[in-house]
Structure 1
């Protein structure tokens, strides 16, 4: 049994989580998260800890941001859009039990007040911002780092929040064999 309570978007996500692991969930009911749900999540964080495991899409990222802002110190589980896709639908409910177990084994923990070990210049040099292919490059690097996809500003914040080291960052860039922005 996983000690932390897993925050998911809906019933189908709960079903998928329970196929993979024994765990309790709190369902947000979509992106319109009410105060009552946020209070339950805050109580779960105080008593057991919380893992945010939302869909790798815009709505899921919005929910993740809202919960993380209102309930500090959450852990985060990420899956890629490819791992969550089925017949044009993207969601945790589509992920295999093995993918869910892997995501839960590779949690990232927020570090409040974190100072980034990277600079915006590092992101520019890697072609993750101010580059014609920046979005697809961030997607690949975010997946390699286990922090998911987001825009350039959020990517920088996540690198700080999850204390991504320069070594992790460089390994993710090298491992993907992406040309630098200056090589293009």
Structure 2
């Protein structure tokens, strides 16, 4: 699989893992202190070939994604589910693209979102509360499952509505995904 766009990642290990999986060029941010030189490089890449932001599914990864998205409008976004990014044989909480399987990386890149035109979502905060995604004992698990189904990444309660809007998730898509979340929750519970 060859990727036309340049993929923005956090570091060398991410680049190595992506290149083992697909034919692609990367730009490394070298952590969450994204400097002006890297932003300039990403802007140039966006103008020439397009950019996919593909950061770790954690707070630093979300921070980098936000910094780059604000500085370089029109980037595409790929998300890796947290479970797919966990180190299998590691002590601690290692989480990152470098731990993902080639299949998970390919799936994330196939689910790339183009969010150049952002419109207001028809999903409300009350919809999130009614669905048990905010203020419920199962809210975090439901948000994680919903994020995987819609390929919008891991979110907390405050971020969810913003992410649904960012990726132009319709009320119908949301309702169908929530139905699946509840069905699978009932099956497991």
Please indicate, yes or no, whether the TM-score normalized by the shorter chain is above 0.5.
yes
- Match for residue 158 of structure 1? 163
Post-superposition offset of 1:178:
6.0
Alpha carbons of 1:118 and 1:45: their partners in 2 closer, same or farther (altered >3 Å)? same
1:103 aligns with 2:104: no
| Structure 1 moving runs of 4+ over 4 Å | none
In structure 2, runs of 5+ residues without a counterpart are 185-189
Work out whether residues 117 and 163 of structure 1, in 8 Å CA contact, stay in contact via their aligned partners in 2.
no
> SS of 2:182's equivalent?
coil
Of 164, 176, 180, the match for 1:171? 176
C-alpha root-mean-square deviation of aligned residues, in Å? 1.6
> SS of 2:84's equivalent?
coil
Post-superposition offset of 1:36:
0.6
1:148 aligns with 2:150: no
1:48 aligns with 2:58: no
Post-superposition offset of 1:99:
0.9
Post-superposition offset of 1:64:
0.7
- Match for residue 34 of structure 1? 35
In structure 1, runs of 5+ residues without a counterpart are 180-184
- Match for residue 65 of structure 2? 64
1:123-142 matches, within 5 Å, as: 123-142=128-147
Work out whether residues 77 and 104 of structure 1, in 8 Å CA contact, stay in contact via their aligned partners in 2.
yes
User: Which is worse superposed, 162-171 or 25-34?
Assistant: 162-171
TM-score (norm: length of structure 1): 0.92
Matched length: 180
TM-score (norm: length of structure 2): 0.90
Post-superposition offset of 1:142:
1.0
> SS of 2:132's equivalent?
coil
> SS of 2:83's equivalent?
coil
